[in-house]
Amino acid sequence: MQNLQKLLEFLVKSPLDFVIVGGFAAVLHGCNQTTRDIDICLVLVPDKIQLLRQVLKPLNPKIRTTQEKPSFLTSPEDMSGIQNLHLETDLGVLDLVAKVEGVGDFYSVLKNAIEIELYGEKCFLISLDDLIKSKKALGRHRDLVVVKELEAIKNEIFR
Amino acid sequence: MNKLKHVASDRSWEKKGIDIWLIRSNLKLSHEDRVAQHQNTLDCIFELRKMKIPQHAKSAKTARISG
């Protein structure tokens, strides 16, 4: 059974440097939408991917985009040039992205990210404005529904 | 006057299909509580789906027999 709450706690207590993005970031900002995965943006270079493998090992991570669902601990062998990793773990679905649509790479997302405290740890959450930009750039119906809610949240915060 | 402006603003969000009261309620929660609330919703969805499984199994079986 998916437990994104535990997955998030696991991630924030890990040594990984990341920014929470996507639908779960919308939830953290106060949206009513439900999401079935956690999306994080980070630097996906070989040594960071190796660290990811070590950190995620207890969660039995698998690559969920292929039918065979190979273990992320051994696949892909070539770790260069990876832009996205779509994983299935024992605690739920975890998507890792090197770039956020409409915003840019990890450092561009981090520049405006807000620091929040979760489970006694500091972590980074994509800014409301950057999340709106990324959802608009994706442009799917479900993203545009989230955009409306995020704009309502922005209005509430600054009114 | 200010109160009237807020009422007009609330109505405009309602017209866009946004439950502004639910959002206000979310904004009062801590980040951890927002995550916990979301997890509760996911758990409810999971339980509802589990309850539907026997119905699907039954209809699939019926379909095979009749087919």
Percent of chain A with pLDDT over 70: 99
CA distance B54 to chain A (A): 18
**Dihedral of CA B28/A122/A46/A50: which sign?**
negative
Q: What is the DSSP string of A9-55?
A: HHHHTSS---EEEHHHHHHHHT-----SEEEEE----HHHHHHHHHH
Residue B59, SS3 per DSSP: helix
Q: What is the pTM of this model?
A: 0.87
CA distance A81 to chain B (A): 32
Give the pLDDT score at A36: 94
**ipTM, 2 dp:** 0.93
Task: Specify whether the CB–CB gap between A41 and A21 falls below 8 A.
Answer: yes
| Cα distance between residue A42 and residue A102, in whole Å | 16
Q: What is the mean pLDDT of each run of 10 residues along chain A (159 residues)?
A: 94 97 97 95 95 97 92 88 94 97 97 97 97 96 93 89
Choose among B27, B39, B42: nearest Cβ to A153. Answer: B27
CA A100 to chain centre: 10
Give the pLDDT score at B66: 33
Q: Which residue has the tokens 């999306």?
A: A39
Give the pLDDT score at A64: 94
Mean pLDDT of the B27-52 span: 93
Whether the predicted pLDDT of B27 surpasses 60: yes
